[in-house]
Structure 1
Amino acid sequence: MNINQINNVYFIGIGGIGMSNLARYFKNLGKQVCGYDKTPSVLTNEMIESGISIHFEDAIDLIPKDFYTENTLVIITPAVPASHSEWNYFIERDFQIKKRAEVLGLITKDTFCFAVAGTHGKTTTSGILGHILYESGVDVTAFIGGIVVNYNSNLIGTGKSVTVVEADEFDRSFLHLHPNIACITSMDADHLDIYGTSQAIEESFKEFADKIKDKRNLFVTKELPLEGVVCAIDEESSYKAFNVRVGDGSYVFDVQTPTVLIKDFHFGLPGRHNLMNVLMAIAMADLYGTSSVAIVKAVSTFKGIKRRFSYQIKTEEKIYIDDYAHHPTEINAVHQAVTELYPGQKVLAIFQPHLFSRTRDFADDFAKSLSAFDEVILLDIYPARELPMQGITSQWLMDKMTSKNKKLIDKSDLIQAVLASNAKIIVTIGAGDIGELVSTIKKAIDETF
């Protein structure tokens, strides 16, 4: 399929973080774009304001007549049920229907593609890299799986020759991509509902790595069983970040590349995991030929990703941070960052588990990660695309935790519980709809303290 021959792009599930940046991309290309989503959101409102037509009822007669042509591409999200009438309408009439991953494959085939893979760190690393390239004048479009604060968008740039994409391992989506330069940040077990075993996940990552024939174009961490250019913190490697110190609320560090020493990077995102994320982005930009001066400047101005250790309140009385962490390794990273920044302070963690299958598969690790916090509030499991599983509940998870200060509450009682805590530091963590409670929590704290 040739994208240049497509006039109209119709999205079923247009409101998702990944679908919406594709919608914005095609609108930037001058295509007619519209779509369906189940519920309105901030993202759908922004797209409507930009001129993209969106409706929220599964109704064939709401599809614009202009889209009833052979020059229409239909893009679907995996969350759409097989009974969806609009989807079936397009299937019955032999429209070109593609998954988001397949469309990204088509786009990356015709561009110079940077692909960022890993079970953790994809969004932040992609955001940093996209920002570096864009600020350096590269003709880039970066598809980000979160809202980049600098741009208040999940799309950076409008370029047609270079792309930055998150190489998502879910449903083996990243195997559709055509990367020229790539990195793999981590290969922890996840999505066992899709893969079955951690070995199957590892094999899928190896298959993705094999897409990079010249291993000088693949960046990896020293822990990974993969051939590539090694990036490390404080250890000898091809790209090494070292002399790490904290100054004026930022990390300050130096980077040794294979050819040059770059001194005094200033980077505002906390947590040792983010040092690896920024080092991966620096390495890929350096290999591409971006100047050291431009990289240093762009890194210093990167403001982060919403829901990735995002400060909501930062006063003498209270600190409130929101984070997307939904895997034990990510929760550990939040704990490391918050205790490094605020040693000795009491921390309340509010966690909404995401998916019954993930809760089941990593229950012991979740219990250990959460028990590291001084106080924990659990919400019920957010099901997303899943049906309930017998015996897999937040109460079951909480019973595994060793914390003495823990409770399971309903969302309706959350504000009261938060205000009753004497913790100075509050963190909300999870990938479900807990993000929609953030503004309410922030407002309640602001009005009380």
Structure 2
Amino acid sequence: MLPCLVPDAVHALPLHVVTPEGWEHLPGAGFAKASGFTGKPGEIALLPGESGLGGALFGLPKSAEGYGALPYGLPEGSAWALQGGDAFQATLGWCLGAYRYTRFKPGKRAPARLVTPPGGEAAQIQATAIWRARDLINAPANHLGPAELAAAVGNVAAAHGAAFRVIEGEELRQGFPAVHAVGQGSPRAPRVAVLEWGAADAPLVALCGKGVCFDTGGLDLKPPSGMLRMKKDMGGAAVMLGLAEALMAAKAPIRLLLLVGAVENSVSGEAFRPLDVIRTRKGLTVEVGNTDAEGRLVLSDLLTYAGEHAPRLILNGCTLTGAARVALGPDLPALFCNDEALAGALLAGGLAAGEPIWRLPLHDGYANWLDSGIADLNNVSTRPMAGAIVAALFMKRFVPEAIPWAHLDLYGWNDAHRAGRPEGGEATGLRAALAGILDFLRSTDKSTS
């Protein structure tokens, strides 16, 4: 159980979730009204009791994140029992708002705690997965390299009875040559973490995560400002790992394959170079137009491996392009998808979860922008346009056409503190993907039965 939750209501105070109309009859409402409380969304009013604090009123928020103002908006050390509101939304939002990254510095204060209401269990599952993803993204790169990221996958696998292995060394060089090429410049060796879970007769869902633990840009070196947050370049892997954890904890009726390409894109005499030609697992050769477009190279091998297992769907998550952020900003992951049913399920899942995503086109008219004179394709285009689309088109080359595939280009970070979204690492798209995947599988099972 997360530390912001308590299992019982022995010493809990009532937390009344109200709308602007109909709260005046509650005990202490006169005091709240005299204090200026109106019941607008997100507004908090403490109520007096016989021996001090007697409860609180809280204006029904517009989203789960709105409940995130409560853990630090209510007195430290207090415990609260929900009266009204939606149990799932309240539990999820409370947990999202209570999160702080405290590995190296204790929090300034402890959050108020919520008695887990009936119906809040599913929210705990999601919140636990989100906390894990946030912790991984927030971890400094000197404390989270490829080995540590792979170990994090192993920890989740062990907790849920999943099979786990790590591909490294000569096996990686031969079987995942693009992953090896990206990571060969770092003294912290690259590796691929593989998690498998579920019954053999269940539909297979393949998740692929870009796990670049730090991205200098390689020999096409980023400027200092561009490198400042590159510890979060493994955000796609963190989100996919969190998604896998949520699916396993919920005992989803699926078989799961999670692949994390854990590498560091460093500068050294061993680093791959601009205009190198590298081989991929699929057999296609790639001319390196820019060493800072390394994430798509890592994913090319993972997508090929996933496709070899003929899954029902493939989903990859990655902090891939600045172009997606220019187009959509930090909160909206860009969705690229080769299947209308899967795209519709993910878009609907995002809206249902209160975490919208936005679809961009896989416009084949730009595919020849990746042409190379000496290899099967280049990893970048020479044209300074449509960068997110071109990156998606590159990865599309490594996915079997018959397999539904979705690509989430996400930010993985909150630039400033908001209710339910503390500044720092964020599991962007996790809730949307969780809802969308399960809905897609349900709908396709019905259509084939």
Task: Work out whether the TM-score is over 0.5.
Answer: no
- Of the two, which has the highest radius of gyration? 2
TM-score by length of 2: 0.31
- Of structures 1 and 2, the one with the larger relative CO (CA 8 A, separation 6+) is 2
